[in-house]
Amino acid sequence: MAVRPLPWATGAGTLEIDSVMASKGKGRTGQRPSLNVFAGTGPSRHSPRCCAACIPPLLALCPCARTARPQIPATPADSYTRARRIELIALFGLLTCFTPIGIDLYLPALPTVAREFHAPIAAIEHSLATFFLGLAVGQAVVGPLSDRFGRRMPIIAGLALYVVGSAGCALAQGPLMLDVARFVQACGSCAGTVLARACVRDLFRPSEAARIFAQMLLILSVSPLFAPFVGGWMLVITGWRSLFWLQA
pLDDT tens, position by position, for the chain (248 residues)?
554 544 444 444 444 434 434 444 444 444 444 444 444 444 444 444 444 444 454 445 555 555 545 555 577 777 888 899 889 988 999 999 999 999 999 999 999 999 999 999 999 999 999 999 999 999 999 989 998 998 999 999 999 999 999 999 999 999 999 999 999 999 999 999 899 999 998 899 888 888 899 988 888 888 888 898 999 999 999 999 999 999 98
- The pLDDT tens digits of the residues spanning 176-231 come to 999 999 999 999 999 998 999 999 988 998 888 888 999 888 888 888 888 989 99
Neighbours of 91 (CB within 10 A): 13
d(CA 17, CA 33): 7
| pLDDT score of 70 | 53
Give the sign of the dihedral formed by CA 189, CA 194, CA 197, CA 203: negative
Report which of 97, 53, 84, 75 is spatially closest to residue 217, judged by C-alpha positions: 97
Q: What is the pTM of this model?
A: 0.67
User: What is the CB neighbour count within 10 angstroms for residue 229?
Assistant: 12
Q: Are 121 and 176 in contact (CB under 8 A)?
A: no
Q: What contacts 82, CB < 8 A, 6 or more positions away?
A: none
Give every CB contact of residue 152 below 8 A, 6+ residues apart in sequence. Answer: none
